[in-house]
Amino acid sequence: MNSIWMVLKTALVLLMGLLGLAYRATQPAHPESTELSDVPPTSSPRIMLSDGRYLAYKEKGVPKNESNYKIIIVHGFGSSKEMNFLAPQELIDELGIYFLLFDRAGYGESDLNPKRSVKNEAFDIQEVADRLELGSKFYVIGVSMGSYPTWSCLKHIPHRLAGVALVVPVINYSWPSLPHYLTREDYRKKLFPWVLWIANHAPDLLYWWVTQIWFPSSSSMERSPMFFSNRDIDILKKTSGFPMLSQDKIRQRGVFESLRHDFIVGFGDWDFDPMDLSNPFPQNESSVHIWQGYEDKVVPFQLQRYVAEKLPWIRYHEVPDGGHLIVHYQGLCEAILRALLIGEETPL
């Protein structure tokens, strides 16, 4: 009985750690940096989808009708359209980049989707692009948990994509293609079934846990080598701003349910295995990229390398001293944009 409780407690701590990670990842960067981030507005423009739901969005960069590149950025777990993307204004103006950021279903000012699935997340992106008249093709950048809607775009709407970048994309241990020799010693594979079971079958227990004193504080998260690399911790020390996932916020049952459903969909059974995907750009007219930190404590680089080896049409970029928060590192977003849009490799 004690061993079962210890596994259960460890699984809950893992999920709470991911919640804490999401909280820190949604902090605005240091005010001296140039970035795509504003103070959250009291209200945002919204579009109504075909099923009656509303999605809130935010436009950045050059005006849409003057742009050369239209990019949709897909935020991760616990984040929103207010997420950081450190893109120098000079580069935005030089290349003519238009950015669309939107609150995924249940986040920010967007309506919850009780039928959320990996597949319909891709069609949400397609419908947003059509309602805002982005044209027949557009770019997609998915960050962390925002990678599962991005993988879904590669599966379900590849004909709409001009190019794709996945930044520290999450690995789903339910993918049947993952080899046992790479995962047998990975504690995440052992814990995620417990976390999913708790999220699916004991939501009240999970809600009680996250709203009690065991919710990780930002200070304890910063000291935890379980989630952050040394460079990540340095980034967190320089980060200040508003909390997108404070304890007050997580106590709201609607917020909690949105996070719970997003976690279940992202780490549950998908309708496809990414390793079975074929190259959506066989003529090399566009490209797909993965950006990974070698010292990422959330997503093991070994698994990310395996994905890139199985899908050789993906261009794999590894940051030697990078953790899970590489999207906040100075110069990384510029490197992502240059590689994705003009095929230019930038020394990291």
Q: Are strands 97-102 and 69-74 parallel, antiparallel or unpaired?
A: parallel
Q: Give every CB contact of residue 62 below 8 A, 6+ residues apart in sequence.
A: 92, 93, 96, 97, 98
Provide the Cα torsion 176, 182, 188, 189; round to 10°: 30
Q: Considering only 6-20, 97-111, 195-209, which range has the smallest mean pLDDT?
A: 6-20
pLDDT at position 225 is 62
Q: Is the pLDDT of residue 204 over 80?
A: yes
DSSP 41: P
pLDDT at position 250 is 57
Neighbours of 144 (CB within 10 A): 28
Query: Which one is predicted more confidently, 137 or 14?
Result: 137
Spatial distance between the Cα atoms of 209 and 225, rounded to a whole number of angstroms: 22
Spatial distance between the Cα atoms of 157 and 138, rounded to a whole number of angstroms: 11
Identify residue 323 by its one-letter amino acid code. Answer: G
Taking each helix axis from N to C end, the angle separating 253-267 and 118-131, rounded to the nearest 10 degrees, works out to: 110
Over the chain, what is the mean pLDDT? Answer: 83
DSSP 104: P
What is the per-residue pLDDT across 230-264, written as a single tens digit (0 to 9) for each? 888 887 777 643 334 455 565 677 778 888 899 99
Query: Which stretches does DSSP call E strand in the chain?
Result: 46-48, 54-61, 69-74, 97-102, 138-143, 161-167, 288-293, 314-319
What does the pLDDT average to over 48-62? 96
pLDDT band for 285, please (50, 70, 90 cuts).
Answer: confident
Q: Considering only 62-71, 110-119, 175-184, 212-221, which range has the smallest mean pLDDT?
A: 212-221
Domains of the chain with bracketed CATH: 2-342 (3.40.50.1820)
Q: Is the pLDDT of residue 90 over 90?
A: yes
What does the pLDDT average to over 128-132? 97
Q: Is the pLDDT of residue 35 over 90?
A: no
What does the pLDDT average to over 147-168? 97
Neighbours of 28 (CB within 10 A): 19
